[in-house]
Amino acid sequence: MPPPIRRLASGGLAGSILALALLGVVALADAQDLRERGLAAIRSLTGCFLVDYSFVEVEGLRPGYVRDPRVYDVNRDKSVKEWITGEEIGPGRIRLQRILFLAGLDGVVRMESLLRHQSEDWEYNAPYLYDFVAPQTWRPRDLRATPDLWTRRVTNLDDGPRYQCAAAWTTGGYPEWSCDGYAPIPGRETRDMGRSDYQTLDRRTRIVAYGSSWLERQNNVKTIHAEGVRTPLVRELGKTWYVRLPDRECSAGAAFARDRAAFWALSRETWDGVLNGAAPFVERTPPGQPPRFVKMYEVEEQLMGRDLADPAVRAEARARILCVIDEYRVP
């Protein structure tokens, strides 16, 4: 008979192995739960919404800077609505596509305002993301050492990169996702507010999903980025309320998306092949040319009505999308 200590050691080893196995099962279950709760929160962000934007500067950070007194408030003389769809690309990845349009105070949709707005690509345990590091420049960052995070990739109007950030969805109370990152100057600033005195934004974003509505709060620093140096200019506070409406109020947006969904899916797949985590991505605008999304929109319009399920048509469309991407990037 073996000495008692050997039996004890053997039993202890078996118990340790069993304990480790149980810990692995628990960890896997916890990870699956985090993924499912994140998916549920992101799914709740889809539907028809009245969107209320409000942004204001609150604290000058550069000596001599005078705060802009204007409040960015888009619903003063109209209603802004978004039809937000969700496409589940895999077990831990979901893409939200926003269709923005305007309605008058009488409720009549302004059909000319229909616009494919930004997309949000959410992925659980994404292996990498692209950090915005300077104007027109994004650099891949490995995320494999930080598991159980949800990466939010916000795209440009043509699926190109804008800003990305990785954080966890909280599990208590209303689901929340908070993340700090660096981003280009918002379109609302250059387009609507006429700003050109800064180039980038230090973003602090907090999303709260209430089920019937959701809120995105921002605490941002408008930043001058010149010759590799970041100079804080002014702090702004902002919030965007998404108030759920009956789906019928977004029927115009739904029809707009339905006619273009096949092209958008191909565009996303093509960009996935370009932004594969292998190298930085640096944009450029060729002299005398419009922004890239304008060129991509022209391709989309020319392919409207063609069967993108046909392999030959699909190959042609992909090649044309890649041609636009290559024209607007540094080799």
pLDDT at 12 over 90: no
Residue-averaged pLDDT of the chain: 92
Residue 169, helix vs strand vs coil: strand
Q: How far apart are CA 158 and CA 146, in angstroms?
A: 29
Mean pLDDT of 258-283: 97
> 141 or 8: which carries more pLDDT confidence?
141
Q: Where are the beta strands (DSSP E) in 156-199?
A: 161-167, 176-184
User: What's the confidence (pLDDT) of residue 33?
Assistant: 87
pLDDT at 149 over 90: yes
CATH code at 36-246: 2.40.128
pLDDT digits (tens, 9 = 90+) for 200-223: 999 999 999 999 899 999 999 999
Q: Which residues of 142-156 are buried (b: 16+ CB within 10 A; e: fewer)?
A: ebeeeeebbbbbbbb
Mean pLDDT of 28-32: 65
* Cα radius of gyration (the chain): 23
One-letter identity of residue 87: E
- Domain ranges, ordered by start, for the chain: 36-246
pLDDT at 51 over 70: yes
Q: How far apart are CA 242 and CA 173, in angstroms?
A: 19
User: What's the confidence (pLDDT) of residue 18?
Assistant: 55
Percent of the chain residues past pLDDT 70, beyond the cut: 91
pTM for the complete prediction? 0.89
Mean pLDDT of 224-251: 97
User: What's the confidence (pLDDT) of residue 298?
Assistant: 97
pLDDT at 3 over 70: no
Q: How far apart are CA 118 and CA 82, in angstroms?
A: 11
Q: How far apart are CA 238 and CA 218, in angstroms?
A: 5
Percent of the chain residues past pLDDT 90, beyond the cut: 85
